[in-house]
Amino acid sequence: MATKTNAQGSILMLSIHGYVSAEPELGKPDTGGQVVFVLELAKRFARLGYKVDLVTRRFGKQPEFDRVNPNLRVWRIPFGGKDFIRKEDMHGQLRDFVTNFLAEAASRKLRYDVVSSHYWDAGWAGQRIAEELRIPHVHTPHSLGSWKKKDMKGSRGEEEQIYRFAERMEKEFLVYRNCDHIIATTEQQVELIHADYGIPREHVSLIPPGIDEQRFTPAQPSRVAEIRERIGFAADDVYCVGRAATNKGIDLLISALPALRKLVPKARLQLAIGAGSDRDRERVTKWKELAQELGVAAHVRWIGYVADEEMADYYRAAGVFALSSRYEPFGMTAIEAMACGTPTVATVHGGLHEAVEFGTHALFADPKKPEEFAAIMGMPLRYARLREKLSLEGARFSRRQFGWTGIARRTLAVFERFRGIYQMPEELADV
């Protein structure tokens, strides 16, 4: 990466927290949709001829590099010790990351055309790296501290303290104000970046997340029947996948199940919930207790971690996919489910519901209102014509609007707007 040779250019991507790798272990702490987003985008950049370093934190026994393909590698920079650090606790460690990365880049004589950072921690570090290297910095927030704080209002006090909103929002503001451009993934993010952080709208572009359109596809009915038999799903099952985080609203989904079973007596929940920490396991235990209290424990199946190569089949097997989050910047799992032809019910507390046409591409409802969410989930389970329409149109919509190659081209167009803007004038180059 020290030279460009036949490449279109060099991109430095930063995604610091979680378990980032060529084959990410989804479901581990801080390792979910953002990791998929960043890795898939990096792969498309590489496919389009760009050299890409995807830089993250090195801890535990992780190797320094994962070579994904000739144009893309995952590069791990050590900082903050050998133990896992959750993203809310990285505030005091970021200066060491910047110092260590810049030292390594200098020793290897690496040059980049742009910094593409993801989430506030990488954004804060990326701005300092960009200033040091005199290259543009384009930041993707993925989620906003102000939005998350508002949406968690009324939660337990200790939960709000865990997220350290004041520190996070201060750093977010400085990143948004100082970077060259922001790429938001939803229209709601664009509006909140302007309203809550005072950033001009022209400083923000809207580019949604993408999906692997070759992997997430519908399956023939006979194939779906085989999958259901193999993994233990039924036609009236509601599927949800995600981390065991409070904002994912698993308790809200369980609370809707009694009302759903009045409409669809055979309805069950299939929950692929990754619990990678003691705190996660405590939440799962409480959710199981909630199901017991509501009398639906026998109708909730706790699947746990689903291997990445099995993900598409689990989407295909469900009668409905539900995204019940209290707060969700976008909802990539819902887009993946739609691409697999599964009728999808999304939360209204996020950006995805603004992008879809209700009753054509997908359905949406408020998971904080259990009866409402149950009624909407029950509609495609009860009515075949609606189920077939959502299956067909949802898959078409998601593939056309959210294929990763198209998303990558749109992102590269933003990078190109700023490429070379910090090059030193020739008359000063030798000073």
| pLDDT digits (tens), the chain, 431 positions | 333 444 689 999 999 998 888 888 777 887 778 898 899 999 999 999 999 999 999 999 999 999 999 999 999 999 999 999 988 888 888 999 999 999 999 999 999 999 999 999 999 999 999 999 999 999 999 988 888 887 666 555 556 567 788 889 999 999 999 999 999 988 788 989 999 999 999 999 999 888 888 889 999 999 999 999 999 999 999 999 998 988 899 999 999 999 999 999 999 999 999 877 888 899 999 999 999 999 999 999 999 889 889 999 999 999 999 999 998 867 889 999 999 999 999 999 977 888 899 999 999 999 999 999 999 999 999 999 999 999 999 999 998 888 888 899 999 999 999 988 887 555 544 44
Q: How far is CA 136 from CA 85, 105, 128, 176, in A?
A: 28, 16, 11, 13
Cβ atoms 11, 38 nearer than 8 A? no
Distance from C-alpha of 199 to C-alpha of 10, rounded to nearest angstrom:
28
Cβ atoms 59, 21 nearer than 8 A? no
- Going by C-alpha positions, the residue among 196, 283, 279 that lies closest to residue 248 is 283
- Alpha-carbon torsion (180, 171, 247, 97), positive or negative: positive
Distance from C-alpha of 318 to C-alpha of 405, rounded to nearest angstrom:
27
Give pLDDT, residue 3. Answer: 38
Q: Which domains does the chain have, with CATH numbers?
A: 10-210+405-428 (3.40.50.2000), 221-402 (3.40.50.2000)
Cβ atoms 173, 196 nearer than 8 A? no
Cβ atoms 399, 383 nearer than 8 A? no
The C-alpha angle 22, 322, 320, rounded to 5 degrees, equals 105
Give pLDDT, residue 1. Answer: 38
Distance from C-alpha of 152 to C-alpha of 97, rounded to nearest angstrom:
30
Quick one: tokens of 62? 């992780």
Q: Which residues contact 146 (CB under 8 A, 6 or more apart)?
A: 169, 172, 192, 196, 197
What are 75's strand-pairing partners? Answer: 55, 65
CB-count exposure of residue 193 (10 Å: 0-12, 13-18, 19+): buried
Distance from C-alpha of 45 to C-alpha of 375, rounded to nearest angstrom:
42
